[in-house]
Structure 1
Amino acid sequence: MKKIAVDAMGGDHAPKAIVEGVNQALAIFSDIEIQLYGDEAKIKHYLTATERVSIIHTDEKINSDDEPAKAIRRKKNASMVLAARAVKEGRADAVLSAGNTGALLAAGLFVVGRIKGIERPGLLSTLPTVDGQGFDMLDLGANAENTASHLHQYAVLGSFYAENVRGIAKPRVGLLNNGTEESKGDPLRKETYALLLAEDSIHFVGNVEARELLNGVADVIVADGFTGNAVLKTVEGTAMSIMGQLKSAIEKGGWKAKIGYLFMKDALRSLKKTLDYSDAGGAVLFGLNAPVVKAHGSSDAKSIFSTIKQVRTMLDSQVVKKSVEKFSIKEDSQ
């Protein structure tokens, strides 16, 4: 049985969206057990599942505007902290939260702990491509600054994830840069390029440009945290803007536009599905001793369900265990 600790109080629509997503997951997956951390009365109001679910009551939670490190230290009984501690103490196999991103990163580092040999865990998420296959990208903001060694480790971790969780054989790994030529980029990118070129355990395809990301140029994209976070928010913002403009054009276009929409309805729904990353699950803080997964703050029940499905796949594939073994061997050989 896979035991998943869930912060029921994190996110814009908690606990409603969190608990409803849990209800859906428990109905579909018979091999998971959910531990819900948070206000018991509020959780019970939405909980319909009766088996393989437990509630660990706490009145304390971490707010979106709390300073991450301080919140983890001072709010020791917060729902997020208790969920992370359950993983640390072996009472749960993974932790999921839609709450304060910085606080979850801090809980992951200080409570769950990083893999021996990993210098800095990175935030990984699966983003959409026009062919529907998607690509994994890290770091997406766990670190404001990175070294070439960090990016080298992200390439290996990302390749591990794409192969074991998404089932991609020999994932193509690309380095996000301002040009495809080997000579392009700043010193960080050039040093990273040389490290990735020499790494036998990955299929490195070279530098890739941001404009090609959604065309499926690679299965794994490596970037420093500052750049990765900017790209993530650009992709999200672009998708929202395109769908918003289409909706506005149809609403303001008169009867001809509305008739045209009837003929294009299926195509537009397909476009929306392509741009919708909620089916892919949450962002993984990869490089820790257990899966720590951040669902989007505005997650609805569907997104929470997808994130639980993602966590289940991670546990099934033992991707974290394999990462621990790989980097422990590397560390011991140095």
Structure 2
Amino acid sequence: MRIALDAMGGDFAPEAVVKGAVMAAQELKNGEVILLLGKEDVLHTLLQENGYTGSNISVMHASQVIEMGEHPTKALTQKPDSSIALGYGLLKAQKADAFCSAGNTGAMLVGAMFSVKAIEGILRPSIASFVPKLSGGLGVILDVGANADCKPEVLEQFGELGSIYAKYVLDIQNPKVGLMNLGEEEGKGTVNTQAAHQRLKLNKDINFIGNIEGRDIFNDKADVIVCDGYTGNIIVKMAESLYDILHQKGIHDPFFDKFNYETEGGSPILGINGNAVIGHGVSSPRAICNMVLLAQKMAVSKISERFRKNYSA
């Protein structure tokens, strides 16, 4: 297994990325390799400084860097030898089983759409995130930022994507799907959510339990939470802020500690031809490590292949 990692992406790159890669390498099995993508001389020096002498990390040179503030489409076009372009090139050529980056989010999404591309039958690839449950374990919420506005059929498909992911990556059998809405009643919500409710209700491939409200996010009512990217992004950022506030006040709790973005390390892009994970721009070494391990878990589960098989049928 080969996991490509953008060593130049993120506010604290490349130092934090290399440290995170070294941490992750200790968790990998023989034959699982992290491909560090970036400026070769810099990366070799940092690996030496971190005392790395193992065989689970390999360096691949990328002469260009897409900065955080650059226009995604222009940057990918004008910087074909950037670490992000190289990562998607490896993924497309099946020379990497997954690609991770804490760099320019827009460039990661553009690369996903125009390099490896969406799986045939997928209307809109989605960014997913994870929801800690009070009873333990995790749920999945999608979309959290790729699609601010969603048609009913797109929301229905998010329910399908989330169900497949929950089953094969989170090991939840027959995951419960809930539609985020402003009331539990079937007739509540916008025109889009009302129509999405009817489509989800009639979909025999998912275990739809109806509308859920914001108070249901962390309980066991739903394992898969479906919403548009605008709503999902607000939910995720609010959860992150709760952790920050509690941390500032010196309050530590095992449940709320899971709200820390470092815990999972990144957000997978679902519905594309390959496994890609987007990390937080301020990713620490711990976050980078967990992002790599998340990508490893996705590759082992063959989640992208399962999506393809589902929609080819």
Q: TM above 0.5, one fold?
A: yes
Deviation (angstroms), 1:46? 2.6
Q: 1:10 to 1:175 in 2, by over 3 A?
A: same
Q: 1:115 to 1:20 in 2, by over 3 A?
A: same
Q: Which residue of 1 aligns with 2:43?
A: 43
Q: Which residue of 1 aligns with 2:180?
A: 176
SS of equivalent residue, structure 2 residue 136: coil
Q: 1:229 to 1:33 in 2, by over 3 A?
A: same
Out of 297, 302, 307, the position equivalent to 1:313 is 297
After superposition, the CA RMSD in angstroms is: 1.5
Deviation (angstroms), 1:243? 2.5
Deviation (angstroms), 1:132? 3.4
Distance 1:269 1:310 in 2: 23
Q: Which residue of 2 aligns with 1:79?
A: 83
Runs of 4+ in 1 over 4 A off after TM superposition: none
Superposition map of 1:246-257 within 5 A: 246-247=249-250
Deviation (angstroms), 1:144? 2.0
Q: Which residue of 2 aligns with 1:257?
A: none
Using structure 2 for the length normalisation, give the TM-score.
0.94
Answering whether residue 37 of structure 2 is matched by residue 33 of structure 1, we say: no
Out of 95, 99, 111, the position equivalent to 2:103 is 99
Out of 191, 196, 204, the position equivalent to 1:187 is 191
Answering whether residue 212 of structure 2 is matched by residue 208 of structure 1, we say: yes
In terms of fraction of residues, the more helix-rich structure is 1
The one-letter amino acid paired with 1:20 is: K
Q: Does the 8 Å contact 2:138/2:170 carry over to 1? A: no
Q: How many aligned positions are there? A: 308
Q: Which residue of 2 aligns with 1:300?
A: 284
Distance 2:9 2:261 in 1: 20
Q: Does the 8 Å contact 1:10/1:100 carry over to 2? A: yes
Q: Does the 8 Å contact 2:131/2:217 carry over to 1? A: no
The one-letter amino acid paired with 2:244 is: M
Distance 2:108 2:181 in 1: 29
Answering whether residue 166 of structure 2 is matched by residue 162 of structure 1, we say: yes
Q: 1:198 to 1:215 in 2, by over 3 A?
A: same
Answering whether residue 278 of structure 2 is matched by residue 278 of structure 1, we say: no
Q: Which residue of 1 aligns with 2:23?
A: 24
SS of equivalent residue, structure 1 residue 117: coil
Q: Does the 8 Å contact 1:130/1:274 carry over to 2? A: no
- After superposition, the C-alpha distances for 1:44-91 in whole angstroms (9 at most, x for unaligned) are 233214313221112311111001111111111111111111111121
The one-letter amino acid paired with 1:293 is: V
Q: Does the 8 Å contact 1:127/1:277 carry over to 2? A: no
Q: Which residue of 2 aligns with 1:231?
A: 235
- After superposition, the C-alpha distances for 1:184-232 in whole angstroms (9 at most, x for unaligned) are 0011001100111111111111101112212343111010111111211
Q: Which runs of 5+ in 1 are unaligned?
A: 248-264, 330-334
- After superposition, the C-alpha distances for 1:85-111 in whole angstroms (9 at most, x for unaligned) are 111112111110000111100011111
SS of equivalent residue, structure 1 residue 214: coil
Using structure 1 for the length normalisation, give the TM-score.
0.88
Deviation (angstroms), 1:21? 1.6
Deviation (angstroms), 1:237? 1.6
Distance 2:209 2:262 in 1: 28
Distance 2:78 2:23 in 1: 34
Q: Does the 8 Å contact 2:80/2:86 carry over to 1? A: yes
Distance 1:94 1:3 in 2: 7
Distance 2:307 2:256 in 1: 34
Q: 1:51 to 1:176 in 2, by over 3 A?
A: same
Q: 1:77 to 1:142 in 2, by over 3 A?
A: same
Q: Which residue of 2 aligns with 1:291?
A: 275
Superposition map of 1:126-141 within 5 A: 126-141=130-145
Deviates more, 1:37-46 or 1:136-145: 37-46
Q: Does the 8 Å contact 2:152/2:195 carry over to 1? A: yes
Superposition map of 1:259-278 within 5 A: 268-278=252-262
Q: 1:69 to 1:238 in 2, by over 3 A?
A: same
